[in-house]
Structure 1
Amino acid sequence: MSISALAPSGSAEQDHSRLFANPRATREPYPAPLRSIMNIERAQECRRWLSAWPGIARQATPLYDLPGIAQQLGIARFSVKDESVRSSLGSFKALGAPIALVRQIVRLHPAFDPALILMGRYAQQLQDYTVISATDGNHGRGLAAAARDAGCRCVIVLHANVSVEREQAIAVYGAQIVRIKGNYDDSVEEASRLATVNGWQVVSDTSYDGYEDIPRDVMQGYGTIAEEIVEQTGAQPGLAGAFTHVFLQGGVGGMAAGLVSYFWEFQGAQRPTFIVVEPVQADCLLQSAIQGRPARATGSVDSVMAGLACGETSMLAWKFLEPGVDYFMTIDDQQAIEAMRLLANGSNIDIPIVAGESGTAGLAAMSVLRTDPALAQQVGIDAHSRVLMINTEGATAPSVYEALVGQSALTIAARQASWHAS
């Protein structure tokens, strides 16, 4: 499959892809008020605490160069940070909810050793403690796994569009499942209501008035991804790094904020150009950029990119995205699916990669930009560009993945193993 297969049939506007240049983006040094909320020191602390958890890989996730795709895109370098192998959970969310749970427990029990919480050292003391969250799948799975290992109870609220397959993947960790009608935002409201009625603790990745500590902890956990990239590329503080452009998934904005904050603090004015990508029907971040404040999506929110199907921007994440992200962009579902297939196919020079529905947003957006010279020029992408995308998830719903890609994730994984061996 070629890049042209990912291109919209008409103009980007006709096919709903949209690019918005953020007029509030800045390249000043990382502001002190933002550093007081999220910083590299705290990200490193998160990484140390999580390193003892059996639920996560000991080594850094791979950073793959895909020279074949780079050639098709007409750029110097295209790289993928593959979070699908972060843990058996299958996504980057293994870095967020677990560290937020650890930090919340430490706030309640300052004498507990944070590195031992997920080892079950304090399970007896935590057996009556209950955490709850709404999820599209991956966040809830991460929280359920962490709660099980810590020894506390977990309740997960799922909305109508979450598949039974994703529900089962959460329930296997012992979480109590609550099903509701409506969409993700409705499930967030129900989780908040249940927490209030029962005295449970909400562990959410989106913030709202009076609720910022835990979403901050979730976002800070994602700094591990950025730190590994810095190590893997030999980046130096205050200098331009290996990549000129970094594509980040949208959603409520937490993952993007976690990585933007780290790279911005580390590289300062030499930070890369950041482009945040989200589904056209879940465009809350793009609308926030247009309106200059946290805003809601204008579409149905229902998207095959389940992890990005969020209707409302995290207020806390927006504090980082508003000054730190250069462009906001939307893509449609079909573009994401075609990007999944392209990464799965690989080539004699590109390793096959299992990338889930939300994991391919960067490649889908990049492909749209390269088919429209005016858009590419606006973003500053040319033959010298070095582009990074984050594959945020693998086949977290294996049957959905196989239906969309036409091959099973196990088949792709076997081909990847053969590629490594050749």
Structure 2
Amino acid sequence: MFVSNPKAGRQPYPQALHAVMSIAKAEESRQWLAGWRRLNAGATPLYAFPDLADELGVAQVSVKDESVRSELGSFKALGAPIALVRLILRTFPAQPFDPRGLLEGRHAHLLAHFTVVSATDGNHGKGLAAAAQSIGCRCVIVLHANVSTEREQAIAAYGAKIVRIAGNYDESVQHAAELAASNGWTVVSDTSYEGYEEIPRDVMQGYGTIAAEIIEATAGQPPFTHVFLQGGVGGLAAGIVSYLWEHFAEQRPLFVMVEPEQADCLYQSALLGKPAKATGAVDSVMAGLACGETSPLAWRFLEQSVDYFMTISDEQAVAAMRRLAAGSARDIPLVAGESGVAGLAGLVQLIKRASTATELGLNGDARILLISTEGATAPGVYAELSGETAGSVLARQHAWVRP
């Protein structure tokens, strides 16, 4: 499914949105995270894929590889830690806490009884658990039925208490809220709902680091014409869109939103013109995108900026995983997880539709940006879907030499 968004415009970044998220706040978050030991030093790679660009008939395809952002294996290492730090600073204004000191654990003795809770499909929960462990507070993670045991174990390894429910993601969000209310805990969620926007805003603001690195890496080069973004509840997309929109203003790139066909809440939001729920079973192999309800806060950014919304099948995502893993003479082999390849899967489908490709300007002048948001965060799932272990792909990556 594919639809254009009549509300998307080319105006400068609105002041009302700037008051919520801005480049200045994103840069502050970036500086706070710079010393966190769980993040790898420096920017993540922005790889060119010239053979893939030739296959698709476009000028350039570039992929930002978030799998190596940290030991956590995904972009979520940028959101939850910042949200937790800002939450603690607001909650304990009388304490002499500083952001870097918190992440270094210097104030752990004062936070041992402070508890945060969140629902997750995997990556957000792992990021929150790792941040809580570094800071020294307690963390409870609620997992729904479709989260794999492999992902559960990865979160528990960071000291989080795991609570399992039988329902789906949205039901796990509700259960986390109930636990917080009955125990005096604080929800640290990456999706917003009525009366709950401050923490999701902080999560989204953390993702601005990705956009900042992209702009720095491409300084002096022609800007990207198209950016394909993953769906989910919309948080990542809002964080990236807000930064690029503020930076480029009316000259911003064309944004395309891609999500699983059975978890189409953002596509439905575009049809209805307001935050909506998915119409499918929300059981995609793209676990990080298997979300049933749009974040209202994220939608405030997306409804005015995302030019097109589309859905893809699980099979199309798997094909994209395999293409990136395979590499080629000029394309580095890349470990990209099932949720990380949605943008490429969407691009491939649009290129196959000649009239749509023409409408979007997907031609020999198009410079495409994709963000691979995760690596093999569930190694067993990755191997099953891609037909090759992540270790095998990485071995070929290390041996790859571009001619």
TM-score, normalised with respect to structure 2: 0.98
Matches within 5 A, 1:279-358: 279-358=260-339
Structure 2 CA distance, aligned partners of 1:421 and 1:414?
15
Aligned counterpart, 2:247: 266
From 204, 210, 228, give the equivalent of 1:219: 204
Matches within 5 A, 1:153-192: 153-192=138-177
Structure 2 CA distance, aligned partners of 1:305 and 1:290?
22
User: 3-state DSSP class of the match of 2:276?
Assistant: coil
Aligned counterpart, 2:74: 91
Code of the aligned partner of 1:320: F
**Structure 1 residue 116 and structure 2 residue 97: aligned?**
no
Aligned counterpart, 2:372: 391
From 335, 351, 355, give the equivalent of 1:374: 355
1:421, distance to aligned residue in structure 2 (A): 8.7
**Structure 1 residue 22 and structure 2 residue 5: aligned?**
yes
TM-score, normalised with respect to structure 1: 0.94
1:419, distance to aligned residue in structure 2 (A): 1.1
Question: How many residue pairs were aligned?
Answer: 401
Aligned counterpart, 2:257: 276
Q: CA RMSD in A?
A: 1.0
Structure 1 CA distance, aligned partners of 2:99 and 2:300?
28
**Structure 1 residue 126 and structure 2 residue 126: aligned?**
no
1:229, distance to aligned residue in structure 2 (A): 0.2
Code of the aligned partner of 1:69: L
Against the structure 1 CA distance between its residues 206 and 58, is the aligned structure 2 distance closer, same or farther, given a 3 Å change threshold? same
Against the structure 1 CA distance between its residues 125 and 292, is the aligned structure 2 distance closer, same or farther, given a 3 Å change threshold? same
For the Cα contact (< 8 Å) 1:65–1:78, is it kept in 2? yes
**Structure 1 residue 142 and structure 2 residue 127: aligned?**
yes
1:182, distance to aligned residue in structure 2 (A): 1.1
Q: List per-residue Cα deviations over 1:86-127 (Å, max 9, x = no partner).
A: 001000000001110010011122331112111001100000
Aligned counterpart, 1:8: none
For the Cα contact (< 8 Å) 1:248–1:389, is it kept in 2? yes
For the Cα contact (< 8 Å) 2:122–2:152, is it kept in 1? yes
**Structure 1 residue 409 and structure 2 residue 394: aligned?**
no
For the Cα contact (< 8 Å) 1:157–1:187, is it kept in 2? yes
Structure 1: gaps spanning 5 or more residues: 1-17
Code of the aligned partner of 2:71: S
User: 3-state DSSP class of the match of 1:323?
Assistant: coil
1:304, distance to aligned residue in structure 2 (A): 0.2
Structure 2: gaps spanning 5 or more residues: none
Code of the aligned partner of 1:92: F
For the Cα contact (< 8 Å) 1:360–1:391, is it kept in 2? yes
Matches within 5 A, 1:191-206: 191-206=176-191
User: 3-state DSSP class of the match of 1:178?
Assistant: strand
Structure 2 CA distance, aligned partners of 1:164 and 1:232?
37
Structure 2 CA distance, aligned partners of 1:384 and 1:397?
37
Structure 2 CA distance, aligned partners of 1:406 and 1:91?
21
1:19, distance to aligned residue in structure 2 (A): 1.0
Code of the aligned partner of 1:168: Q
Structure 2 CA distance, aligned partners of 1:21 and 1:327?
4
1:242, distance to aligned residue in structure 2 (A): 2.0
Structure 2 CA distance, aligned partners of 1:330 and 1:406?
24
Structure 1 CA distance, aligned partners of 2:322 and 2:372?
13
Q: List per-residue Cα deviations over 1:162-185 (Å, max 9, x = no partner).
A: 000000000000000000001100
**Structure 1 residue 50 and structure 2 residue 42: aligned?**
no
For the Cα contact (< 8 Å) 1:52–1:116, is it kept in 2? no
Structure 2 CA distance, aligned partners of 1:346 and 1:40?
34
1:66, distance to aligned residue in structure 2 (A): 0.3
User: 3-state DSSP class of the match of 2:262?
Assistant: helix
The structure 1 segments of at least 4 consecutive aligned residues displaced by more than 3 Å after TM superposition are none
User: 3-state DSSP class of the match of 2:400?
Assistant: helix
Structure 1 CA distance, aligned partners of 2:378 and 2:402?
27
Against the structure 1 CA distance between its residues 345 and 414, is the aligned structure 2 distance closer, same or farther, given a 3 Å change threshold? same
For the Cα contact (< 8 Å) 2:332–2:402, is it kept in 1? no
For the Cα contact (< 8 Å) 2:257–2:309, is it kept in 1? yes
**Structure 1 residue 31 and structure 2 residue 31: aligned?**
no
Structure 1 CA distance, aligned partners of 2:250 and 2:163?
46
User: 3-state DSSP class of the match of 1:120?
Assistant: coil
**Structure 1 residue 69 and structure 2 residue 52: aligned?**
yes
For the Cα contact (< 8 Å) 2:75–2:374, is it kept in 1? yes
Structure 2 CA distance, aligned partners of 1:166 and 1:420?
33
Structure 2 CA distance, aligned partners of 1:46 and 1:415?
35
Against the structure 1 CA distance between its residues 399 and 63, is the aligned structure 2 distance closer, same or farther, given a 3 Å change threshold? same
From 16, 19, 23, give the equivalent of 1:40: 23
For the Cα contact (< 8 Å) 1:53–1:119, is it kept in 2? yes
1:270, distance to aligned residue in structure 2 (A): 0.3
1:160, distance to aligned residue in structure 2 (A): 0.4
